Amino acid sequence: MPPMVEKVLLAEPRGFCAGVEMAIKALTWMVNIFEPPVYCYHEIVHNQAVVEAFQAAGVIFVDDISEVPHGRPVMLSAHGSAPEIVTEATNRAAVMVDAVCPLVTKVHHEVKLMAGKDFDIIYVGHDGHDEAIGAVAEAPAAVTLVDPEQGLGSFEARDPSKVALLAQTTLGMHEWEGVLDTAAERYPELTTARRSDLCYATTNRQSAIRQLAQETDTILVVGSEASSNTQALVRVGRKEGTPSYRVDGPEDIDPSWLTDSKIVGVTAGASAPDQRVREVIDAIAPSDGVAILSLTDEDEYFPLPPTLRQFVKTLQAVVEGGFAVKNQNRPGPIEQDPDYSATGALDLLWV
Q: Using CB under 6 A, which of the segments 96-104, 140-148, 248-256, 340-348 binds ligand SF4? A: 96-104
**What secondary structure does DSSP assign to 23-49, as a single string?**
HHHHHHHHHHHSPSPEEEES-SSS-HH
Is 277 a binding residue for ligand SF4 by CB under 6 A? The answer is: no
Q: Using CB under 6 A, which of the segments 24-32, 82-90, 109-117, 196-204 binds ligand SF4? A: 196-204
Number of residues this chain uses to bind ligand SF4 (CB under 6 A): 15
Q: How far is CA 324 from CA 73, 96, 328, in A?
A: 18, 21, 10
Is 272 a binding residue for ligand SF4 by CB under 6 A? The answer is: no
Identified binder of ligand SF4 from the candidate list 49, 59, 124, 201, rule CB under 6 A: 201
Q: Which residues pair with 120 in a beta bridge?
A: 163
**What secondary structure does DSSP assign to 229-250, as a single string?**
HHHHHHHHHHHTTS-EEEESSG
Q: Mark whether 335 is an active-site residue.
A: no
Q: Using CB under 6 A, which of the segments 63-71, 198-206, 244-252, 280-288 binds ligand SF4? A: 198-206
Residue 25 or 92 with smaller CB distance to ligand SF4: 25
Measured distance CA(348)–CA(333) in Å, rounded: 16
Read off φ and ψ for residue 145, nearest 5 degrees: -85, 125
DSSP code for 322: S
The binding track of 42-81 with respect to ligand SF4, each residue x by CB under 6 A or -, is ------------------------------------x---
Residue 103 or 145 with smaller CB distance to ligand SF4: 103
Is 124 a binding residue for ligand SF4 by CB under 6 A? The answer is: no
Cα torsion 163, 167, 173, 179 to 10°: value is -30
Residue 27 or 199 with smaller CB distance to ligand SF4: 199
Measured distance CA(43)–CA(22) in Å, rounded: 14
Measured distance CA(177)–CA(2) in Å, rounded: 39
Is 170 a binding residue for ligand SF4 by CB under 6 A? The answer is: yes
Is 208 a binding residue for ligand SF4 by CB under 6 A? The answer is: no
3-state secondary structure of 282: helix
Residues 98-117 that bind ligand SF4 (CB under 6 A): 101, 103-104
Residues 17-36 that bind ligand SF4 (CB under 6 A): 17-20
List, by residue number, the catalytic residues.
131
